[in-house]
Structure 1
Amino acid sequence: MTRATLLFILLLTGTVTVRAQHFGKLVQKTPGIVSYTLRESFSKDVPGTLDKIKAWGITDIEFSSLFGKTATELRALLDQRGLNCSSYGVSYDAIDQKPDSILQNAKVLGVKYIRIGSIPHQTKATPELIQKAADVFNRFGKQAKEKGFMFCYHNHGFEFQPYENGTLFDFLLKQTNPDYVGYEMDVTWTFLPGQDPAVLLAKYPKRFRLMHLKDVEKGVAHSDKGGMANAQSVVLGTGQIDWPAVLKAARKSSVDHFYIEDESRAAEEQVPQSLAYLKSL
């Protein structure tokens, strides 16, 4: 009996199974993408943009807007292409003032996560602002969990103001119930305020559920403003982020989904390059 014949028999009998092919050695599953990356394309042609994403081999999307579609219409377009919306991004005011509508849309979209991108603020973060947000997060997070979803907060940089023996971000984590509130790490908005994303992941290994993979051009100064010029959002691996360190830490954490977020006007050219870099790691 040849080795090939023996393997065929073992497969038929279920004695051995074939492991699914991995995307890469360090990033084992093809990362998703944030709809904001292709915001201009989505605003003009949702079906065509979805086709573009599928052609890149990406099937997982985090939508930060419905782009003029109802949740039902968008879900139908995704289903037609075998695509999945795993995370639904909404506003702070929405989870605070119209949670039922958000939860209904999330159900239709079939998501696992609901997230917001920042806490509204006019000045630097304060303990009072963070505590108020924590109360909103805990309340909505409980409502979300009761419906089968996980709520996540996406850090935006300004939360890393020094406070007590750490930062206001540490304070926010302490004030939020881990059963109801998870976090989405934006790697650039963690790095630019002076934090080490890998260290933060190791410090809170069970709090981060989602991650935005975004790099920043070399030479850009540290800042907690949570913004940069579009041209400063560069191909992963060509900027300032130590991706091997970050991704190794993420693999030891509770991060469930990785999404490429490229804010550049050249995102359509850069995303395939970022995918190739991640696959090479």
Structure 2
Amino acid sequence: MKNVSFLLFSLCLCITSFAQPRFGKLLKTTPGVVSYTYRNEFAKNVPQTLDNIKALGVTNIEFSNLFGKTSSELRAMLNERGMICTSYGVGYDALLNKMDAVIQDAKTLGAEFVRVAWIPHTAPMDLTLAQKTVADFNNFGQKLKENGLTFCYHNHGFEFLPYQNGTYFDYIVQNTNPDYVSFEIDILWVFHPGQDPAALLKKYPSRFRLMHVKDLKKGVKGDFSGGTPVENDVTLGTGQLDLPKIMKAARKTKIKHYYIEDESPIAGQQVPLSLLYLKGM
């Protein structure tokens, strides 16, 4: 364990020392991380977890949980460390029934984007659900825009069931108002149901504003469930996704923020290596 800790510490120093002014050839700035990556650590000690993340050279976090803190308390902790929250993830129900609180928390955190990552459903997506989703998203997006925020939907795999000449995801993108609705592409959850993330980025270059950068364990077969064991999240560059192709395609889109999301129980070991992979890409 001592050797592993020393290696990770050395990697952190390496990343931090080269994080500015340019992160790498394909990414100009150091990517952020999604708070879910460090959910277990945040649940135990928020300040220490923020310190550990900053030690990697990462200062941008997408929060989808306040971990028992108020948005004001969390913002103060970020400010103390020179860190920022650029995107705030919430549940579908919060957007339906607690919009004012969502807006207040997002603004307090300093977030520009409000993201939802799951559409409630009990059966595979069909046209009725897709139509309701479009109506809800347009409504969410309009209210958020009126308050200076940008709404993003994070795909989760089940939206890629075939519909007409494309998928239900295509239907949602094509029928939502681009003035109100943007998207956060989770590349694992595009690949898992059998789609090509690079091709999707090229298809809708102006609609994607955020990205979750992930990789899927080799040998894992995908489906339309929107779920896979967390152990299937692996260090970037060691799985099935063609990350150089995807990241090159992303450069020609309107994506503003990239976040590493690693749901694995050993994310703490994998994230430093994923950062090095992205930097050297």
TM-score (norm 1): 0.92
The structure whose Rg is larger is: 1
1:180 aligns with 2:152: no
Give 1:175 deviation, angstroms: 1.6
CA drift of 1:56 comes to 0.3
Residues in 1 aligned to 2:170 and 2:239: alpha-carbon distance in whole angstroms: 27
Unmatched 5+ stretches in structure 2: 1-19
**Unaligned 5+ runs, structure 1:** 1-19
**Which SS does the other structure have where 1:215 is aligned?**
coil
Determine if the alignment matches structure 1 residue 145 to structure 2 residue 145.
yes
**In 2: Cα distance, 1:158 partner to 1:179 partner:** 25
Provide the C-alpha distance between the structure 1 equivalents of 2:127 and 2:62, rounded to a whole number of angstroms. 30
For residue 8 of structure 2, what is the aligned residue in structure 1?
A: none
1:206 aligns with 206
State the distance in 1 between where 2:224 and 2:210 align.
20
Q: Which runs of 4+ in 1 moved over 3 A?
A: none
Shift of 1:21: 2.0
Q: Hey, what's the Cα distance between the residues in 2 that align with 1:279 and 1:110?
A: 27
| Residue 116 of structure 1: aligned partner | 116
Structure 2 residue 207 is matched with structure 1 residue 228 = no
2:261 aligned residue: 261
TM-score, structure 2 normalization? 0.92
Give 1:133 deviation, angstroms. 1.3
1:25 maps to what in 2? 25
Task: Name the count of aligned residue pairs.
Answer: 262
The question of whether the paired residues in 2 share the 8 Å contact of 1:235 and 1:270 is answered with yes
SS at match of 1:85: strand
Deviations 1:209-243 (A, max 9, x none): 00001110000002121221122110000000000
SS in 2 for 1:248: helix
1:136 is displaced (CA, Å) by: 1.1
Cα offset, 1:107, TM superposition: 1.0
User: How far apart in 2 are the matches of 1:31 and 1:225?
Assistant: 28
Q: CA RMSD in A?
A: 0.8
Q: CA deviation at 1:50?
A: 0.3
Alignment partners' CA distance in 1, 2:135 and 2:103: 18
What secondary structure is seen at the aligned counterpart in 1 of 2:88?
A: strand
Which amino acid in 2 is paired with 1:264?
Answer: S
Partner of 2:106: 106
* Matched ranges for 1:157-196 at <5 A: 157-196=157-196
Contact kept, 8 Å, 1:189 with 1:224, in 2: the verdict is no
Contact 1:160 1:193 in 2 (8 A): yes
